[in-house]
Amino acid sequence: MSYQRVLLKLSGEALMGNLGYGIDPAVVAEIAQEVADVVKSGVQVAIVVGGGNIFRGMKASAAGMDRATADYIGMIATVMNAMTLQDALERIGIANRLQTAISMQEVAEPYIRRRAIRHLEKGRVVIFGAGSGNPFFTTDTTAALRAAEIDAEIIFKATKVDGIYDADPKGNPDAHRYQSLTYNHVLTHELKVMDSTAIALCKENDIPILVFDLSVSGNIMRATKGETVGTIVGGNCEVI
């Protein structure tokens, strides 16, 4: 099946390419072009971006920083990434709006659900920054939350791997890549797809999740057309 409204979850690491830290403008430009191609095909696209390439709240918390403070810093990092992506889209003529869960009126709109949906209906890409606006929640959970709020048909989790495995494929050459999974299997076996809160939200709202390799050119477009890329997680899926 093909999709008309999707939510694309980008990790902060996806924006840094092969760099050890920060943002690779060339990689961001490539992602923007892929999104542009999808938008031009008539698909409505919303994006949630992480901030792990700049700052990781949980890592800082483990080192002694107050968890809430660390998470707020991480939220600000996601806005930096979101602004970079916004600029890349604008430079190739793709209309978009950046909405943040923390008020930053000089650089972005506040997150307003109805306004976000209206932007999508007008063919604009909507980029959600600053996570959910609350500490102790990941951007994966934000992706599940926003997808439910805007009635997205599916979440595309674009990563550096080509799907979900039963073990780390880098350390285990015999690791099995799943074609499809149920929410319960992911939760029960603690597979590292998204955090458990995000998976539970998707299960409750029946939002499928497609995990695929972002580095393969054209994968986002293929995913919107319902082609087999990566691993899909859903309530009606079989464990294969």
10 is in an annotated binding site: yes
Q: According to the annotation, is 172 in a ligand binding site?
A: no
55 is in an annotated binding site: no
Known binding residue 118? Answer is: no
173 marked ligand binding residue: no
139 annotated as a binding-site residue: yes
Is residue 84 annotated as involved in ligand binding?
Answer: no
Q: Produce one character per residue of 172-203: b if its CB has 16 or more CB atoms within 10 Å, e if not.
A: eeeeeebebbbbebbeeeebebbeeebbebbb
Using only the alpha carbons of the chain, give its radius of gyration.
17
Of the candidates 196, 195, 223, 199, the one whose C-alpha atom is nearest the C-alpha of residue 210 is 223
Is 129 one of the annotated binding-site residues?
Answer: no
Residue 137 assigned to a binding site: yes
At residue 192, the 3 state secondary structure works out as: coil
> Phi and psi (nearest 5°) for 144?
-65, -40
165 is in an annotated binding site: yes
* 52 appears as a binding residue in the annotation: yes
How many alpha carbons fall within 13 Å on the CB side of residue 70?
Answer: 17
51 known member of a binding site = yes
Count of C-beta atoms within a 10 Å radius of residue 22: 15
128 carries a ligand binding annotation: no
Q: Is 217 annotated as a binding residue?
A: no
Angle at 50 between CA 144 and CA 52, to 5 degrees: 135
Which three-class secondary structure state does DSSP give residue 6? Answer: strand
**Residues forming the annotated binding site for UMP?**
51, 71, 132-139
**Residues forming the annotated binding site for ATP?**
9-12, 52, 56, 159, 165, 168
**Residues forming the annotated binding site?**
9-12, 51-52, 56, 71, 132-139, 159, 165, 168
